[in-house]
Amino acid sequence: GQNIDQPTEMTATEGAIVQINCTYQTSGFNGLFWYQQHAGEAPTFLSYNVLDGLEEKGRFSSFLSRSKGYSYLLLKELQMKDSASYLCAVSKGGSYIPTFGRGTSLIVHP
């Protein structure tokens, strides 16, 4: 199976930077996704990492280390609307179906 671990909750201040970590244990690793989910809404795709390193996309960046089974999502210049749950998901095997972690609830306050 896959063990995916991420913090349950984090808080940060508007305008600041926050890093949400995700560790995983799996065989047959394909890649790692980050999704954002606002309360009561559908998860929406943020990023996908398959190779080691940092991928930057606007205010959001995602990092992967395959050898360490570790990823993080970096959010810069935080805005109130960034308050949401951030889901780490690992894809493995031939079907490429991601398995989701429990999510990290991020609260951004003024």
Near another protein in 39-98, by CB under 8 A: 40-45, 48, 50, 87, 89, 91, 95-98
Quickly list DSSP for the chain: --EEE--SEEEEETT--EEEEEEEE-SSEEEEEEEEE-TTS--EEEEEE-SSEEEEETTEEEEEETTTTEEEEEE-S--GGG-EEEEEEEEETTTTEEEE---EEEEEE-
**Binding to another protein by residue 1, rule CB under 8 A?**
no
Cβ proximity to another protein, 11 vs 44, nearer residue = 44
Cβ proximity to another protein, 15 vs 99, nearer residue = 99
**Binding to another protein by residue 102, rule CB under 8 A?**
yes
Cβ proximity to another protein, 5 vs 77, nearer residue = 5
Residue ranges binding another protein (CB under 8 A): 8, 30-31, 33, 40-45, 48, 50, 87, 89, 91, 95-103, 105
